[in-house]
Amino acid sequence: MEKKTNLIHCALVVVLSLCLVSSPVLAEDNSVSVNELIENSADYNGKSIAITGEAIGECLERGNNAWVNISDGSNAIGIWMTKEEAEGITYYGDYKYTGDTLVITGVFYEACKEHGGEPDIHCSAFKISKAGEMKSEKIPAAKILLAAGFTSLALILYMTYRQLLNKKPERSNAD
């Protein structure tokens, strides 16, 4: 009887472990960086990994799928996901916006056969850990002053140039 219970316990532990391994782990702590993936691409190739990064640029739709590029600060990489998944992303980072921060779980390929040998990640799940936003652009007063000052200087020099160079050229001895 005890043996049977032990066997059931063991089986449960194995099943639970397998579930944990195969199910997406959406934890930022376990994330690898893009550079780490590239440096150790052979080790990570074909394996499920978690990566955290900001969605950048824009969504590039391809039929029912889409490319979303993410940057983790070290580098950027393309994430291949469904169009529906991509529609969940609101902000993409550029000069004016900070993109949504995504925690992605997916399979990394060092030379993806489906995508012409490109290093990429095929997304299996993702969540937005931090929503993006529009950046505020506060214009520094110092820059306005500098622009006014240097523009004035350029105008003064231009007036001098007009005055001096519109005169007839001097005859120099060197000629």
Partner 1 sequence: MKNSEISVRSAEIISYYAGFVILGTSMLMVIPVVTAILSREWIPMLDFIISMAIAASLGLIFVLLGRRTKGHSSSVQWKHGFAVAALSWVMLMFLCSIPYLLSGHTYSYLDACFDVMSGFTTTGLVLTQDLDHLSNALNMWRHMLTFIGGQGMVVLALTFIVKESSGGYKFYVGEGKDIALVPNVKGTARIIWKISIVYLLFGTLVLWIAGLLLGLNPASSLLHAIYIFESAWSTGGFAPNTQNIMYYHSFLYEAIAMVFFIIGSFNFGLHYAVWQGKRKEFVRNIEIQSFAITAFLASVLAVAALSKTGLYPDAVSLYRRVVFNVLSAHTTTGFGSLYARQFALQWGDGGILIMVIAMLIGGSACSTAGGFKGLRVGIVFKGIIADVKKLLSSERSMRVYKFHYMKDIVLEDGLVRASALIIICYMVLFGIGTLLGTFCGYSLADSAFEASSVTGNVGLSIGVTSASMPAVLKIYYIFAMYLGRLEFLSVFALIGMAITGVKRIWKRKQI
Write out the residues near partner 1 by the rule CB under 8 A. 35, 38-39, 41, 56-62, 66-67, 69, 71, 75-78, 93-96, 110-111, 113, 115-120, 137, 139-140, 143-144, 146-147, 150-151, 153-154, 157-158, 160-161, 164-165, 169-170, 172-175
Smallest separation, CB 1 to partner 1 (Å):
54
Provide φ and ψ at 108, rounded to 5°: -90, 135
* Residue 145 to residues 117, 159, 172, Cα–Cα distance (Å): 52, 21, 42
> Do the Cβ atoms of 78 and 69 come closer than 8 Å?
yes
Smallest separation, CB 113 to partner 1 (Å):
5
Closer to partner 1 by CB, 1 or 136: give it. 136
Tally the C-alpha atoms within 13 A of residue 47's C-alpha that lie toward its C-beta: 12
Closer to partner 1 by CB, 12 or 161: give it. 161
Closer to partner 1 by CB, 20 or 142: give it. 142
Closer to partner 1 by CB, 24 or 57: give it. 57
Integer Cα distance of 43 and 30 in angstroms:
16
Smallest separation, CB 127 to partner 1 (Å):
21
* Residue 37 to residues 65, 72, 115, 129, Cα–Cα distance (Å): 23, 12, 18, 21
**Locate tokens 């007839």: which residue?**
168
Smallest separation, CB 141 to partner 1 (Å):
11
Closer to partner 1 by CB, 10 or 88: give it. 88
